[in-house]
Structure 1
Amino acid sequence: MANPSQTAQHACEQILIEDRRYNTEHNIWPSQVIVVDRLLARRFELLEAYEELHSKLDPHPRALWAFFDVLLGAAALWNPERIARARAGRTELVATNADIALKAAELAKLLRQREQLHNTSGFKSYTYYHVVDVIAAAARDNYLFRSHVQESLDALRSHFDLKYWPYLADVIEAIAHDAQDTAAEPSDPVTAAATAARRASLVDFFKAWFAGIEQNRMSRGGFLPPSIKLSDATLAALVNCALDLDPDVSVDGPYVKRLRQGLRQAQAAARAPSHDGGNGISD
């Protein structure tokens, strides 16, 4: 008869093996397959972690599966390399919006200059002057626009003369203001958690992982119970293996303990609402 440790290992690894099989057969999520292979290769480092996970999550329907789903997703999408790319993307987005604001303002100025020349030079260039002309030209390859929108838009244009419509320069100037006034904000809580710190570190991964757990609690429609009390050593072992950390950069239980304490203190200082200390997994 299998002992509890063997039962737990088998249950956890069956979830991983099934996830790998499905992804491989459907040719999806190769990055998650890599994470599964890491966990399976370093299985003997995870025996105690699997036993704790199984004893605390297996009584809840699909909770064990949901936990590994979050772990694999975090390790595949929010590992240090991916987080670095996300930070670089944020910087590039800010620079791109600034560039759009500048160039759109320049284009609006040129459009106003061209309109003045049309009115004063005695020459015309027969370019677009009505915003509806631009919309129609931009959508000429859009079958749905031509089939369902264009006729009504043309009728609206015929009903209201030019004074009721914005000039092209006004439209471009609005784009300039829009790009200038915006800010690069994370599109979801996990991205926000992973990129909030000023300096990149392994803590960013933990934040993303914990945020993913928060998003998958039962209170949010997921399968994870309200309070998951896992030890610091279990969390450390899972991260070491999922990220395939070398011994010289691996983490241990005391490191995770300090990290979670730091996150709780930071959130308390910011007065952030939380049901379990805000670090994703309760002590």
Structure 2
Amino acid sequence: MFTNAQTDHITYDEFRTAIDSAVHQRNSAYSNAYALSIRWEDDDTRAHEDTAHFQCILKMLGLPKADELVLQPTDRTPGWTVQSSMVEMLEAARISQGKAIILCHYAGRAYHDKGAFMATAQADERPMNLGVFCLDLALDRSYYLADIDHVDVVFFLDCYYGFEASRAPPNSGDRIVEILAATGKTPRSALGLPPARNTVTGILAVEMMRRQREGHRSVEFADLVQALRGRDTVVVTPVHGLTMGASSAIRDSRLDRNSIPLELEFPLRRMPTVSSHRL
């Protein structure tokens, strides 16, 4: 942060505060982990395959299997259904002992409407505001979590226009809210149509498995996204953003092995193959 509009340097106190914050975050360990994957029952983008990809990522990281929330065609208030599941998970993380991490995954259709991030089953059918009923719950502007709560959240938005959510300016604070999403370079009208291509969840899982086979012992989501963005073979380009905090929640760091480390070491086991598919 600049001291005033006429200077391009920061004060010693500002620099010290920034360093202390970074050191504090880097030396934190997660004692508890929670995960949720959301999709529509009548989805037409093969989102169920990306749920499997997300479960694969969690397994490689040694994290618990995600709860799967499948929104039913008969649900007339899907937003409230999502909010209920998110609030339950946020509350469990908030009251848990030690530092907690939440990983939330959405796969399916989405679009932007007058600044609102909307998710829908098919062709704008039964839209819900995913920003209000899901993403915003992790931020300080909601009443579910405050900066004093030791809960970091990572969102995987495997849908078009998810990149808009990652553009939000980061809020200050010790907590981390991180977003991994797809760019919007392919029109939403192409959803569910050929040619076949990988989704964001799929290419992240494949890249993690490649690194695992090469002997990597840790992973950082921001680094994964940066590496994938530089490859011409990637059809759906991932993006990464922070809406709270100063660094990725999943990053290199060797910490207490009795808790879940920020480096999230790969278990020494083979993982199933993740195939490419039509989104």
TM interval, short-chain normalised:
under 0.3
- Structure with the largest fraction of strand: 2
Question: What TM-score do you get using the length of structure 1 for normalisation?
Answer: 0.21
- Structure with the largest fraction of helix: 1
Question: What TM-score do you get using the length of structure 2 for normalisation?
Answer: 0.22
Q: Which has the higher contact order (CA 8 A, sep 6+)?
A: 1
